[in-house]
A and B are shown apart, each in its own frame.
Chain A
């Protein structure tokens, strides 16, 4: 009888859990808004990752717009800070800037350039298509590959005072929020 009681108590304690529904994806505007990060925002994906020194760390830079209001976005300047004592840039590639990105079926190459200096990375990307001037609510601007230099943890973040999103007519779209990425090197 005592064993049955213990079994029942254990059974109910272990099976009465209601899990928290804390869905968090930096690219998801709904999740960002729950965290107080409102669009348009610039984010990194994934938000955190743990790698070894021999691995390559891949971080995507994204611009997130509201699902309901499509901004006629045309280009971006991203100012990214990282710990250069821990990470060094291995390579950078243009991301999905709307239908005109290099991975798009149209194979339209955007104007894409970057400058890296002492843990500061400036990326400039412009969408040059004349037929499509608006993009999806989520825009992949660039993919950055870091090479770990030593063990430790680093935050990759945006300096919003330096970042810019611009419309096709070169008017500036205000950035309302950012999300950083956490990289742990073991």
Chain B
């Protein structure tokens, strides 16, 4: 007896494991979305279609408990159609964007087991592709081609976009070398302007510094010669020279201070400017529209 029971149980287990779950599909589209049926893309699944979507059109979020709010309805439908799961899809859109909401219920428990709301720019065969991605995700049968099709057309999620260039990077570069951050941010005109102006100012600082040092050196030399001269002609000449160098050292000192302040200010402003014009993610990737969760009410 035992010899017969073991193969029977084993066969039963295999049958139970490989038996495909039955799924009732309820679609509410605002236009023709799919050529053919979604079931064509999931041949291993046992889909049953139904037209009556009215019990699902009320907003799920308006229920006290969205996960279990339709428990009795789901169980009844599961019993009537003899299915394991119910998939409800609703798509709304305009010329530019569409919004897909998918809900997956377990008929045994009557609870909501998965939900997705997708709000994307319309793209070629986008509605059916988003539908495939949703159902594939729910049934764990996502085809890579569907994902790639989406990636090839749509921008990534903003949070997933990795910015190789950042405003902080631009600022750091400009603070290190004026104009570098602007070039880094492809702001070539301002990069050329800032780097040129800063070069001129830095050259002025350097020239002022060298001239100041030379004047100080000459002033000290002539002052010493003046103090060491006892002859009228000599100390008159050295006093004149010394006074002249003293005036020059004062002028170069002022020039040094002002050009340094100008150069430093421009350097700092250039860093701020680089941050402002620094590369940022495009804010208009997603066009604005009045997105809302579909509701027939």
A positions within 8 Å CB-CB of B: 8, 12, 15-19, 21, 23-25, 27-28, 30-31, 45-46, 60, 62, 136-138, 140
B239 touches which of A16, A30, A46 (Cβ 8 Å)? A30
Of the listed residues B227, B229, B231, the one surrounded by the most CB atoms of chain A closer than 10 A to its CB is B227
Report the separation of the CA atoms of residues A27 and B242 in the bound assembly, to the nearest whole angstrom: 16
Whether B243 pairs with A21 at a CB distance below 8 angstroms is: yes
Known: A16-B256, A16-B257, A19-B216. A27 touches B246 (CB 8 A): no
Whether A19 pairs with B256 at a CB distance below 8 angstroms is: no
In the A-B complex, list the 8 residue pairs whose CB atoms are closest, starting with the nearest.
Answer: A138-B232, A21-B246, A45-B230, A25-B235, A28-B235, A25-B227, A27-B230, A18-B253
With a CB–CB cut-off of 8 A, which chain B residues contact A27?
229-230, 232, 235
With a CB–CB cut-off of 8 A, which chain A residues contact B257?
12, 16
With a CB–CB cut-off of 8 A, which chain A residues contact B243?
21, 23
Q: Can you show 22 pairs from A to B with CB atoms below 8 A apart?
A: A8-B264, A12-B257, A12-B260, A15-B256, A16-B253, A16-B256, A17-B253, A19-B216, A19-B249, A23-B227, A23-B242, A25-B226, A25-B229, A27-B229, A27-B232, A27-B235, A28-B236, A28-B239, A30-B239, A46-B227, A46-B228, A138-B231
Report the separation of the CA atoms of residues A23 and B236 in the bound assembly, to the nearest whole angstrom: 11
Report the separation of the CA atoms of residues A21 and B243 in the bound assembly, to the nearest whole angstrom: 8
Q: Closest chain A residue to B261 by CB distance?
A: A12
CB distance from B82 to the nearest CB of A (A): 73
**Contact digits for B242-262, partner A, Cβ 8 Å, 1 yes 0 no:** 110010011001001100100
Of residues 261 through 278 on chain B, the ones whose CB sits less than 8 Å from some CB of chain A are: 264
Q: Does B47 contact A (CB under 8 A)?
A: no
CB distance from A173 to the nearest CB of B (A): 19
